[in-house]
Structures are given as C-alpha cells and as structure tokens.
C-alpha cells in the first residue's frame, strides 16, 4: 500500500500566502491606501520643507529615510490589524479552524503577505526618495546589514502587534479606527512627520516606547551620513538600543498574541 505524504505546515503556509497575496491585491482600495499613503505624505512633507542640514542633507532626504520605517509599519501593523479582524468578522478564521490545515499555516501565509508587501513598500519609497529628493543608496555592507535586521525586527514586531490589536476591535469596521489612531499619532511623536529636534520632550519620551521610532531611526542610520546622528534625541544612532527595543517588542507582541488571539468575534463566541 502506497503512503501519500501529507503537505507540511510550511508548504501549506506558502500556499496560503499565495491566497493572501491574491486577496490583498484584489482589494484595490486597501492596496492604494497601504502603498500610496506613506509615499503621498513623503511627497507632501519633502515639498513643503526645503531646508538643508549642515553637510548638505535635505529635509526631504531625512523624511525619505524615516518614511521607510513608517511604510513597513503600514504593511505590517495596519495590514494585519485590519486584515485579521476582517477574517474573524466574515467567518474566514472560523472556517479555517475547522479544516485540517494547521493554524500555523494561516500565520505563515500572513508572514508571506507582510514580507512581500513590505519589500514593495520599501522599493516604492526608495524610488520616490531617489527621484525627488536625491536620496542615495548606501555603498557600505554594514549599512545594508543594519537595513536587513531593522527591516526584519520591524516587520516581525509590528506584525505581532497588529495581530494582537485585531482582537481589540469588536468588528472589521472598527479595526481601521483602532489601528490608524495609534499609527498616525505615533508618527508625529516618533520623528517621522516632524524632525526629532522640533519635538517636545514628552513626545520624544512617549515615542521612544514604541517600535516606529526605532525603525525610523534605524533606517535613518542606513541612508543618512553619520554627521546626521547629532540631530537625534540622544545624539547618536543608538543601534544597540534599537535592536533591543525592537527585539523586546517581538517578545511582547508574541505574548500579547498568545493571550488575546480569538478565532471568532465575542458576539459569536
């Protein structure tokens, strides 16, 4: 008798990732908002503020580097915060829970979606920064290494927080408000929309508690010259602290997911 090997959880997860990508790109309104909102804000801010820092670094270049951090938060935190709530609201999660597909495959699929969307977002924002604000790509390997770990820790921490936040929303309709309010507010407090040097101390303190500040600062360390580190609140890039905070939020986000994740809405459960 021939034994047929069952698909692995990883294989099912990759297949699920293909489904997630098709569903995502078919939702044109969500795609347009997710990808164009950070780029649109970058164009506005970079066009309004035309000052230059010592060394010839323009405000547009600073915004370009910072918005890459904000962009991957949009593709991870916002995307999953709203998407998982929608899957719960329309019964997708309940149906998947009742199939032989392991739960891990669902989350692998979401990881595939976030990874692809985040890479596309970074490419778009880099293109805007290079074309409009003369942002330069780094040539040093160490900067690309920094880019890689900030990117990975940023999307992992924000994805987990997005999944956890999806459980706060009572429905898919309320998920957008629940996720967009902290996302927009923290961009102001984290030096994304306004240079850190212009922020009051209390905003800097609040912003430093959350991942977006550290992701944006990490990307500034990649795409801006080291002379710009004096413009940061601590006068340095603080890469060690960036890794520690983003890594810590990965752990916190995982714990929150384990404690709060629901397969059905409260009213249905």
- Which DSSP string do the residues of 46-104 spell out, in sequence order? HHH---B-TTS-BHHHHHHHHHHHHHHHIIIIIHHHHHHHHHHHTTHHHHHHTSSS-HH
In this predicted structure, the answer to whether residue 3 has a pLDDT above a threshold of 70 is no
Q: Over the stretch 119-151, which tens digit does the pLDDT of each residue have?
A: 999 999 999 999 999 999 999 999 999 999 999
Enter the tokens of residue 118.
């985040």
**C-alpha to C-alpha distance for 172 and 182, rounded to whole angstroms:** 17
pLDDT band at 256 (very low <50, low <70, confident <90, very high): very high
Q: How much is the pLDDT for 9?
A: 63
**Over residues 189-214, mean pLDDT:** 90
Radius of gyration, alpha carbons of the chain: 19
Number of neighbouring beta carbons within 10 Å of residue 32 = 11
DSSP class of residue 228 equals G
Q: Over the stretch 165-185, which tens digit does the pLDDT of each residue have?
A: 988 877 777 888 888 888 889
Angle between helices 28-48 and 59-73 (to 10 degrees): 160
Q: Closest Cα partner for 69 from 109, 100, 38? A: 38
> What is the value of pTM for the model shown?
0.89
Are 179 and 165 spatial neighbours (Cβ–Cβ below 8 Å)? Answer: yes
Q: Over the stretch 83-94, which tens digit does the pLDDT of each residue have?
A: 888 888 888 888
The mean of the pLDDT values for the chain is: 87
DSSP class of residue 194 equals S
Q: How much is the pLDDT for 170?
A: 78
In this predicted structure, the answer to whether residue 227 has a pLDDT above a threshold of 70 is yes
pLDDT band at 42 (very low <50, low <70, confident <90, very high): very high
Q: Closest Cα partner for 11 from 117, 106, 110, 105? A: 105
* CA 23 and chain centroid, separation: 19
Higher pLDDT among residues 155 and 14, named by residue: 155
């Amino acid at each position: 008798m021939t034994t047929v090997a069952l698909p692995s959880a990883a294989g099912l997860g990759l297949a699920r990732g293909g489904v997630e990508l098709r569903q995502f790109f078919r939702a044109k309104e969500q795609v347009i908002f997710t990808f164009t909102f950070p780029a649109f804000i970058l164009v506005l801010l970079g066009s309004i503020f035309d000052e230059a820092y010592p060394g010839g670094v323009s405000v547009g270049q600073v915004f370009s580097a910072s918005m890459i951090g904000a962009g991957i938060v949009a593709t991870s935190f916002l995307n999953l915060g709203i998407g998982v709530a929608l899957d719960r609201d329309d019964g997708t999660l309940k149906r998947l829970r009742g199939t032989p597909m392991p739960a891990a495959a669902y989350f692998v699929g979401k990881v595939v979606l976030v990874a692809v969307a985040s890479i596309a977002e970074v490419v778009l924002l880099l293109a805007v920064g290079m074309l409009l604000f003369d942002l330069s790509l780094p040539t040093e390997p160490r900067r690309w290494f920094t880019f890689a770990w900030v990117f990975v820790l940023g999307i992992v921490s924000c994805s987990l927080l997005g999944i956890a936040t999806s459980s706060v929303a009572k429905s898919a309709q309320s998920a957008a408000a629940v996720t967009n309010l902290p996302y927009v507010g923290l961009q102001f407090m984290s030096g994304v929309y306004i240079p850190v040097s212009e922020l009051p101390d209390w905003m800097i303190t609040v912003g430093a508690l959350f991942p977006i500040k550290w992701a944006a600062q990490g990307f500034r360390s990649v795409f801006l010259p080291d002379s710009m580190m004096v413009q940061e609140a601590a006068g340095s890039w603080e890469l060690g602290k960036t890794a520690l905070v983003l890594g810590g939020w990965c752990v916190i986000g995982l714990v929150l997911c384990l404690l709060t994740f629901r397969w059905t809405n409260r009213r249905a459960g």
